[in-house]
Amino acid sequence: MILSKAIRPQPQNKAEVKELDWKEVQSWFQRTFFAGEDLPSTQRTAEQESPVAAAHRILTNAMSVMPMAIFQKREDGRHPVSMPELDYLLKIRPNARMGPALCRKILMGQAFWHGEGYLGIFRDRRGRITDLIPLPTEGRTIRKDQSTGQLWYDFTVDGLTHTFAPSDLIIVFFDTYDGLHGKGILALAKATIAADAGAQKYARKFYQNGARMSGIVSVATDLGQEGRDKIKEAFQRYATEDEFKVAVLDRDMTYTPIGLNQQQAQFIESRNFSVEEVSRFTGIPQYMLQSGKQAYSSNEQQQLDFVISTLQPYVTQWEEEFQYKLLSEQQLKTGYYLRMNVAARLRGDNESRSRFYEKMISTGVYCPDDCRAWEEKNPLPNGAGQRFFMTKNLDTIEHIIGGTAGGGENS
């Protein structure tokens, strides 16, 4: 479709007519009224969005503070066991550059952004594990051997490529649909991240312009390019340098603002909506993202729900992956397993912890020495803290079973 456009009248009172293609007209309207850039949902962009950055910090910190320990299931119960080589990697130093908490934080961070987090398992010539090193997901490619079906993971760092078999990698997911490729926050919340980035950019430009909107100046006469540039320059100077002052229009000028003001655009509501969206994608309660209801009682319940609904699936996934990749087949057959201490995440204020300990001791779940160990206290003398209690006048289990409850030690 061809449109005609009248350009500036010439001195002979003639009009110059120029034919424009419809695509050119659309392009002109786009530049004039809808100028803007598409904001990519990259990690760099997302890191600058406060809800996403807060969600990353909360999830990675939560997984980093839960220590790992090795246990063995025997006929007489479950017991912590000492395996010096693995204990050193899990509790003291997984590699020369970082401690266990930082290693877990980086692993969860890679999964958060890219959907998958990788921990390289490095062994010496005798097959003993010497290092656990986080690997960059961005530099990873997956190859499949067409003859054997074997998968190989190639990681490129600083121009060097290292190939791993699946058995030499601890692989954790933020989310996945096939167990091979992960879905991170950049893939799941692409639209939310872009919208929030646009809102932040809009706010920055809005206040940089003295909280004034852009607009169109109409003049009841024909101006040359030089006249239009002068008017435009004057209004730009007014918008940036003369805040809180009055603009004076002459020559029958009319100023028409374009765009929406912050109230019309419901700016604050849109930012709150992005917090809600990030909360939905990550499972983090809104109050932890500094939004929503801030009542202590409800927040305490949400904190418990956060651990159970959000963290526990990651904890279970990590436990299964770590123990399968770090323990030998023989150790797995003889009852060895790995656990993360979720109780470390539930340690709250003194009153909450005391209520928790009281319930656990009074129902026979823990003995006093178990709770003292969590508080970094020594066991009670003479093995007194190793006894288990149940509520029936709070006596020992032996007395309750033997029918002498309430009779004390001499009954």
Mean pLDDT to the nearest integer, 142-149: 91
The 10 Å Cβ neighbour count of residue 122 is 13
Structure tokens of 234? Answer: 């004057």
Picking from 281, 230, 254, the residue whose alpha carbon sits closest to that of residue 52 is 281
Picking from 184, 191, 190, the residue whose alpha carbon sits closest to that of residue 282 is 184
The Cα–Cα gap between 274 and 271 comes to 5
Quote the pTM value: 0.66
- List the alpha helices (DSSP H) in 88-224: 100-114, 185-188, 190-208
Residue 5 has pLDDT above 50, yes or no: no
Q: Are 108 and 117 in contact (CB under 8 A)?
A: yes
Q: Are 311 and 63 in contact (CB under 8 A)?
A: yes
Structure tokens of 377? Answer: 């206290």
The 10 Å Cβ neighbour count of residue 276 is 15
Which residue shows structure tokens 């007194």?
384
- Of 193-207, 309-323, 389-403, which gets the smallest average pLDDT? 193-207
Mean pLDDT to the nearest integer, 18-44: 59
Mean pLDDT to the nearest integer, 265-279: 61
Which residue shows structure tokens 């220590």?
67
Torsion of CA 357, 361, 365, 368, to 10 degrees: 90
Report which listed range, 137-151, 230-244, 336-350, is most confident: 137-151
Picking from 104, 73, 69, the residue whose alpha carbon sits closest to that of residue 83 is 69
Angle, alpha carbons 62-66-71 (nearest 5°): 155
Burial class, 338, CB count within 10 angstroms (exposed 0-12 / middle 13-18 / buried 19+): buried
Q: Running DSSP on this structure, what letter comes out for residue 98?
A: B
The pair phi, psi for residue 236, each rounded to 5°, is -65, -40
Say which residue, 232 or 380, is predicted with more confidence: 380
- Of 72-86, 151-165, 369-383, 389-403, which gets the smallest average pLDDT? 389-403
- Side-chain-side CA neighbours of 212 within 13 Å: the count stands at 21
Helical (H) or strand (E) element with 315: helix 312-326
Q: Are 289 and 275 in contact (CB under 8 A)?
A: yes
3-class SS shares of the chain: helix, strand, coil, % to 5? 45, 20, 35
| pLDDT band at 154; cut points 50, 70, 90 | very high
Mean pLDDT to the nearest integer, 102-130: 95
The Cα–Cα gap between 218 and 382 comes to 93
| pLDDT band at 279; cut points 50, 70, 90 | confident
Write out pLDDT tens, residues 57-92. Answer: 999 999 999 999 999 988 877 888 999 999 999 999
Average pLDDT of the chain to the nearest whole number: 76
For 135, residues 6+ apart whose C-beta sits below 8 A from its C-beta are: 110, 118, 119, 120, 155, 157, 169
The Cα–Cα gap between 94 and 75 comes to 32
pLDDT at residue 4 in the model = 40
Mean pLDDT to the nearest integer, 38-50: 63
| pLDDT band at 245; cut points 50, 70, 90 | low
Mean pLDDT to the nearest integer, 334-344: 87
Coil, strand or helix at 226: helix
pLDDT at residue 221 in the model = 63
> What pairs with residue 117 in β-bridges?
172
